[in-house]
Amino acid sequence: MPLNDGNEPEIRAVVLDKDDCFAIPKETVIYKPYYDKFQALRAAYPGSRLLIVSNSAGTRDDIGGQEADLLERATGVKVFRHKTKKPGCGAQVFEFLRNESGNEVTRPSQIAVIGDRLSTDIMMANMSGFWGLWIKDGVVPEKSFVRLFYSWENVGVSDI
């Protein structure tokens, strides 16, 4: 997080994590209960002012960028293609957002990262001079009822 210089933060671009932030891991659609908030965020940060930076979609693990393509179609938001995963891609993210015309990003402190992982999303923010907004519980929190139910269901199916 940038040191407080006494001024209000001026966020000109937002970096959004995918898994457990606005989508269920391995899915490429917006988690339904978050749909309206997602659209409000898009309206507040239109075009390339909003960028999805995932450690699954758009990485080398995403063969041919298929997951990134699907995600872009489902969200209308650009998915960052990167070889180095978070937290190591802060400099590339900054360069990308700085070079997009219309963003008016000139300093890292004009970027906010929203994510649920301290060791990737928030670490990248801290290493890069971005603001970090930590989503503590994500879409499907660990050991939540939903995840336990899926685990139980999967065990049940494979045991038949």
Q: Site residues (CB under 5 A) for Mg ion? A: 17, 19-21, 116
Smallest distance from Mg ion to CB 113, Å: 11
CB of 37 or CB of 107, closer to Mg ion:
37
DSSP H helices, 46-134, are 66-75, 90-99, 123-128
| Residue 15 Cα distances to 44, 115, 133, angstroms | 13, 9, 10
CB of 20 or CB of 62, closer to Mg ion:
20
| Residue 57 Cα distances to 5, 11, 36, 130, 137, angstroms | 35, 25, 22, 22, 21
CB of 13 or CB of 15, closer to Mg ion:
15
Smallest distance from Mg ion to CB 112, Å: 15
Smallest distance from Mg ion to CB 47, Å: 23
The encoded tokens of residue 127 equal 């290493």
Smallest distance from Mg ion to CB 4, Å: 27
The encoded tokens of residue 151 equal 């685990």
Smallest distance from Mg ion to CB 80, Å: 14
Residue 94 burial (C-beta neighbours within 10 Å; 0-12, 13-18, 19+): buried
CB of 21 or CB of 97, closer to Mg ion:
21
Q: What does the alpha-carbon distance between residue 142 and residue 101 come to, in Å, rounded to a whole number? A: 39
Q: Closest residue to Mg ion, Cβ-based? A: 19
CB of 15 or CB of 97, closer to Mg ion:
15
